[in-house]
Chains A and B, each alone.
Chain A
Amino acid sequence: MNKNITLALAGNPNCGKTTIFNNLTGAHQKVGNWPGVTVEKKEGKLKYNDYDLTIVDLPGTYSLTPFSIEEITARDFVINERPDIVINIIDASNLERSLFLAIQILELGRPVIFVLNMADVAEAKGVQINEKKLSQLLGLPVVFTIGNKNKGTDLLVETAINEINRFEKGKESRPIKYSQKIETCISKVETALIESGVNMEGSCRWNAVKILEDDKVVKARLRKISDASAGIIFQAALECRKKIQNLFDDDFEMVLTDDRYGVIAGIVKETVTNLARKRIDMSRNIDLVLTDRLFGIPVFIFFIWAMFQLTFSLGAYPMGWIENAVSLLAVNLEKILPPSLLKDLLINGVIAGIGSVIIFLPNILILFFCIALFEDTGYMARAAFLMDRVMHTAGLHGKSFIPMLMGFGCNVPAIMATRTLESRKDRILTILMTPFMSCSARLPVYIVLAGSFFADKAGTVIFSLYFMGIIIAILSGRFLRRVLFKGEEEAPFIMELPPYRIPMFKSLMIHMWDRGKMFLKKMGGVILVGSIIIWGLSNFPRQISYSEDYQKKIDSVKYEYAQKTASATNQEIKALNLQLALILTEINNKQEQERIAGSYIGRMGKALEPFFLPIGIGWQPSVALVSGFVAKEVVVSTMGVLYGVGNEGGEALEKALKKSGMTSLSALSIMVFVLLYVPCFATVMTIYREVSAGWAAFNLIYTTMVAWGMSFLVYRTGILLGAN
């Protein structure tokens, strides 16, 4: 039987952790969430000799303080799940800062090996690290790797397994020694802990240090186990803290931080040789252009434009193929299956529903490919750097720009992308603002309506709508921050600007596919259910009292033409058949129109008419808007049905709309409403999954209110100005 071993990968963000993870596990990855928190958990499997390895990618952090979910998650995993070994990946070209986390990981008391990644970059920088000395000083194995060339991966696994065996044979990790004064404090609290007999997860020393650091999570845990001994231990810690405070005129945490850096400085001095070979700093040269005072922003806008061109223009081809494939399937099923309610459900409910999700897959894949490209090259941090000032005016973090931007593609992945934000508040705010970014599903609605009513000015109108969405989002951000998060501390915008790197194709593909899979899995189910519901709503009740007997009418028309063809020449027959087909479609459309109007969804739309009337929206668009809750592109097809042109849309619908007597002002009002109202069902579900049901409900109500208010404003202003 093979032996099961768990390896935990830890390290700073941008240290190449993901690359090593990909090297180790290849495509055998499982992406999910850490239990209880919405921090991404990546797991992979690997077979090595007689071992079955499970590799867990811990969240990338700079420290293990209890201030962010990621950091708590990482250290809790190491302490509670006790992985067999922690593989600490260190950016060799950035040793000093990396060691700050490394020392804290060492303190957790589990077996650790150091992996000095990007050894080539360090060498190019003229940094030489004496790994033997480092290994000696800290009492653990040190391995060099070059992640993007997949060098040293095998050595890493081998060293890890050897180290685990060594620990099994009785090796113990060597603690980091701090200055005398700090050590006295630590041993005092440690003694108090041991005397109290409390059994806590993690080593005694680590818990002692954390209690001294006033770590709220650890303290709460201790209090839960034993309130009485917690009191005694905290008293001891408090005395120590006071003593340090008096001695150094600073908090214990700060003194310890300084001490840690002191230890690190010692290690660096012992092990690193800086060769005075100054190389041109490529990254800095690139930044001379990319974050330049003049060129920075234009170049950024160009990249964003290119990304959207790629996503939507290039994405249009595979979208077409998928569309064709889906309709081919539907047509064939139509032919094969006998007519029944089930068949209708299958074709118009299930296949149409899934088709409507799958069609966005190319967009999502390309978009996430671009985003992965931005992230892996290091440009994403620059984007946040450039845009922070702008986002800050909306009360957000520079990193919020990316999710907001993605909102133009699809709100669902955009909301998923808010995971890059550290503070919960920033995240909720961004999530609430993102739906105002006009997603691509809203575009078909604009195209039909603006195309019909604004002709050559359609482009301007659509652009203004996008712009309006941005403005509303910014205003909302400011407003919500004031109202909902009054007086809360803002998350600091302290962010590394990693050196530019050439991305690895493999890693880009993995990242892209991860997101695509997530999108399909999450949305597939939701949309399927939604489609079936909407299908039910629009197909029931089955019995509708029509204004006239359409079947009878069809029969009589058919009979009439049958008589006509009987007495006609061959050429006339062709013309007559064409005429007949036209008349029959018209009758069918009329019947369909009445059927929809009589269905539950039609009744809902009509019931909502008083709500929509003040903003100049008639009952047909009302029904369409209600059905648009499933997905906004449904608005167009529903309108098609309701205006009696079938669900084809296109030019026929444009004509029908013009004929229907809808004014251009009403059309504008509809477009504004579509821009701002409840994002689709899938978005609401995503918000529910990422935050909570409460916030999802809040978003639903809030967006609808804003949409109604703005449409009202636009419509009424228009009327006052005398437009019609």
Chain B
Amino acid sequence: MINTHEHEKKQFKRLFQQQGIDRFDSRLLVLEAFLKLELHVTISDLVEQLEKDGILLEKEFVLSSMELLYRFGFATKIEFEDKETQYEHRHLGLHHDHMVCTKCGMILEFKDEAIEKQQLIVAEAYGFHMLQHKMEIYGICSNCLKDRSPLVPLHKAKKGEKLIVKELEAGKNMQLRISSMGLKIGDLIEIVSSGFGGQVVIANGENRMVLGKGMAEKIMVQLFDPAVEKIRGIDKDPVDLPLDTLLLSRMKSGQEGIVRKVSGEGILRRRLLEMGINRGTAIYVEKYAPLKDPIEIVVKGYHMSLRVEEASNILVENVGFRNRRNE
């Protein structure tokens, strides 16, 4: 793809310098602003755009600059009687179409010969003589797509993927059936196997569930990205949490809070519970070992130690420093 805007700027520099036109730099800014705006532009639009970019120029100067651009063939003028004069781009010999990202505003230029030809054919078929055309495709650019994992129906997920249930596109009956199985929005699930006639076997926590194709199609899921979740300080719980809710492994010594959730598997979870770390228990971080692992905590009036890794299975809410709390 040819970057036509760069090409235009180069020509502009050459011409304006040849002609010895004053305030070259400022005029270049006007050109840039003009090139940014793709539709018909009035002088006021331009001034506004420049202001947005943090450049303050008088209307008169912008007007004179635009007149110069018009004179040198960078812009065309459209004048209606009762309206402000509008300017639009004039690219000599070059033509391109645009793709505009609605999310980040990026403009992608492209040219496709097949489309160009097809336009002429269509116009001719209508007995229309085409002078100019403008085409813009609105959508989401590849970068933005990367950031946002799209929702997919469950039956399209692959084996081993970790997913978060986002939507249930099902009727009332189906919704009831799904939730009676113990699956609900916000659950973190893993695909155990899929493919046998569209049947999907998933693991939801410690439970296995088998979903028929019909049901799996209705469950919209999103890829679970541990990296994104980590930034939020929640490794295991995808639900949005308030700021004072932290994993025990992220608490500092001297902080205390109330256990909200104990996750983890098998022996570890049982052991945590039987040692007295259950929902609603007050927990106090006494200290970290000299080598930063394990942690010493106080629960139910006694001291115990556990590894940082193990502590990351315990979600604590109302975290705060003890002293501050007592005051």
Interface residues of A in 648-696 (CB under 8 A from B): none
Q: Do the beta carbons of B270 and A65 come within 8 Å of each other?
A: yes
Q: For the complex, give the distance between the alpha carbons of A246 and B176 in Å.
A: 12
Instruction: Flag whether A258 is at the interface (Cβ < 8 A).
Output: yes
Q: Do the beta carbons of B302 and A94 come within 8 Å of each other?
A: yes
Stretch at the interface among B30-38, B145-153, B210-218, B272-280: B272-280
Instruction: Flag whether A592 is at the interface (Cβ < 8 A).
Output: no
Instruction: Flag whether B3 is at the interface (Cβ < 8 A).
Output: no
Which one, B272, B287, B291, B303, contacts A494 given CB within 8 A? Answer: B272
Interface residues of A in 459-500 (CB under 8 A from B): 489, 491-499
Rank and list the top 10 A-B pairs by shortest CB-CB distance, nearest first: A389-B291, A63-B274, A497-B303, A492-B268, A97-B276, A296-B290, A257-B273, A494-B306, A96-B300, A389-B293
Instruction: Flag whether B133 is at the interface (Cβ < 8 A).
Output: no
Q: Do the beta carbons of B267 and A67 come within 8 Å of each other?
A: yes
Q: List 26 A-B contacts (CB under 8 A).
A: A67-B270, A93-B301, A96-B300, A97-B302, A100-B274, A101-B274, A257-B278, A261-B278, A284-B286, A291-B287, A381-B305, A385-B289, A385-B305, A389-B289, A389-B293, A389-B294, A390-B291, A492-B267, A493-B307, A494-B275, A494-B304, A494-B306, A495-B304, A496-B304, A497-B304, A499-B302
Instruction: Flag whether A149 is at the interface (Cβ < 8 A).
Output: no
Instruction: Flag whether B7 is at the interface (Cβ < 8 A).
Output: no
Q: Do the beta carbons of B289 and A493 come within 8 Å of each other?
A: no
Q: For the complex, give the distance between the alpha carbons of A257 and B278 in Å.
A: 8
Q: Do the beta carbons of B274 and A65 come within 8 Å of each other?
A: yes
Which one, B262, B265, B290, B306, contacts A386 given CB within 8 A? Answer: B290
B-chain residues with CB within 8 Å of residue A283 when the two chains form the complex: 303
Instruction: Flag whether B18 is at the interface (Cβ < 8 A).
Output: no
Q: For the complex, give the distance between the alpha carbons of A381 and B267 in Å.
A: 21
Instruction: Flag whether B206 is at the interface (Cβ < 8 A).
Output: yes
Instruction: Flag whether B54 is at the interface (Cβ < 8 A).
Output: no
B-chain residues with CB within 8 Å of residue A257 when the two chains form the complex: 273-274, 278
Instruction: Flag whether B10 is at the interface (Cβ < 8 A).
Output: no
Instruction: Flag whether A183 is at the interface (Cβ < 8 A).
Output: no
Q: For the complex, give the distance between the alpha carbons of A612 and B199 in Å.
A: 63
Closest to B262 in A: A254
Instruction: Flag whether A572 is at the interface (Cβ < 8 A).
Output: no
B-chain residues with CB within 8 Å of residue A254 when the two chains form the complex: 262, 269, 273
- Smallest CB separation, A658 vs chain B (Å): 45
Q: Do the beta carbons of A495 and B290 come within 8 Å of each other?
A: no
Q: Do the beta carbons of A293 and B180 come within 8 Å of each other?
A: no
Instruction: Flag whether A586 is at the interface (Cβ < 8 A).
Output: no
B-chain residues with CB within 8 Å of residue A287 when the two chains form the complex: 286-287, 296, 303
Instruction: Flag whether B139 is at the interface (Cβ < 8 A).
Output: no
Q: Do the beta carbons of A246 and B180 come within 8 Å of each other?
A: yes
Q: For the complex, give the distance between the alpha carbons of A575 and B203 in Å.
A: 95
Q: For the complex, give the distance between the alpha carbons of A323 and B170 in Å.
A: 87
Instruction: Flag whether B20 is at the interface (Cβ < 8 A).
Output: no
Instruction: Flag whether A506 is at the interface (Cβ < 8 A).
Output: no
Main secondary structure of the interface of B (DSSP, over half): mixed
- A residues touching B (Cβ–Cβ < 8 Å)? 62-63, 65, 67, 93-94, 96-97, 100-101, 245-246, 249, 251, 253-254, 257-258, 261, 283-284, 287, 291-294, 296-297, 381, 384-386, 388-390, 392, 398, 489, 491-499
Interface residues of B in 243-286 (CB under 8 A from A): 262, 265-276, 278-279, 286
Q: Do the beta carbons of B291 and A385 come within 8 Å of each other?
A: no
Interface size on B, residues (CB 8 A): 41
Q: Do the beta carbons of B278 and A258 come within 8 Å of each other?
A: yes
Q: Do the beta carbons of A496 and B182 come within 8 Å of each other?
A: no
Q: For the complex, give the distance between the alpha carbons of A713 and B302 in Å.
A: 51
Which one, A100, A292, A493, A496, contacts B302 given CB within 8 A? Answer: A496
Q: Do the beta carbons of B296 and A497 come within 8 Å of each other?
A: yes
Q: Do the beta carbons of B307 and A388 come within 8 Å of each other?
A: yes
Instruction: Flag whether B292 is at the interface (Cβ < 8 A).
Output: yes
Closest to B253 in A: A293
- Smallest CB separation, A275 vs chain B (Å): 14
Q: For the complex, give the distance between the alpha carbons of A639 and B286 in Å.
A: 56
Q: Do the beta carbons of B294 and A388 come within 8 Å of each other?
A: yes
Interface residues of B in 147-165 (CB under 8 A from A): none
Residue of A287, A389, A390 most packed against chain B (CB within 10 A): A389
Question: Beyond the given A67-B270, A258-B278, A296-B290, could you list 16 further A-B residue pairs with CB under 8 A, ordered by the A residue number?
Answer: A62-B274, A65-B270, A67-B271, A94-B302, A97-B275, A249-B182, A254-B273, A284-B303, A287-B296, A489-B265, A492-B307, A495-B304, A495-B305, A495-B306, A497-B303, A497-B305
Q: Do the beta carbons of A493 and B275 come within 8 Å of each other?
A: no
Q: Do the beta carbons of B301 and A96 come within 8 Å of each other?
A: yes
Instruction: Flag whether B310 is at the interface (Cβ < 8 A).
Output: yes
Q: Do the beta carbons of A489 and B270 come within 8 Å of each other?
A: no
A-chain residues with CB within 8 Å of residue B291 when the two chains form the complex: 386, 389-390
- Given known contacts A257-B274, A495-B305, is B207 in contact with A392 (CB within 8 Å)? no
Q: Do the beta carbons of B294 and A100 come within 8 Å of each other?
A: no
Q: Do the beta carbons of A389 and B292 come within 8 Å of each other?
A: yes
Which one, A97, A258, A291, A390, contacts B296 given CB within 8 A? Answer: A291
Residue of B274, B278, B293, B300 most packed against chain A (CB within 10 A): B274
Q: For the complex, give the distance between the alpha carbons of A254 and B291 in Å.
A: 33
Q: For the complex, give the distance between the alpha carbons of A398 and B273 in Å.
A: 21
A-chain residues with CB within 8 Å of residue B205 when the two chains form the complex: 251
B-chain residues with CB within 8 Å of residue A258 when the two chains form the complex: 278-279
Q: For the complex, give the distance between the alpha carbons of A568 and B207 in Å.
A: 104
Q: Do the beta carbons of A94 and B274 come within 8 Å of each other?
A: no
- Smallest CB separation, A516 vs chain B (Å): 31
Closest to B293 in A: A389
Which one, B270, B278, B293, contacts A63 given CB within 8 A? Answer: B270
Q: Do the beta carbons of B266 and A489 come within 8 Å of each other?
A: yes
Q: For the complex, give the distance between the alpha carbons of A245 and B205 in Å.
A: 11
How does the 8 Å CB contact mask read for B174-212 relative to A, with 1 for contact and 0 for none? 000000101010000000000000000000011100000
Closest to A298 in B: B290
Q: Do the beta carbons of A297 and B290 come within 8 Å of each other?
A: yes
Interface residues of B in 116-136 (CB under 8 A from A): none
B-chain residues with CB within 8 Å of residue A389 when the two chains form the complex: 289, 291-294
Q: For the complex, give the distance between the alpha carbons of A261 and B286 in Å.
A: 23
Closest to B295 in A: A385
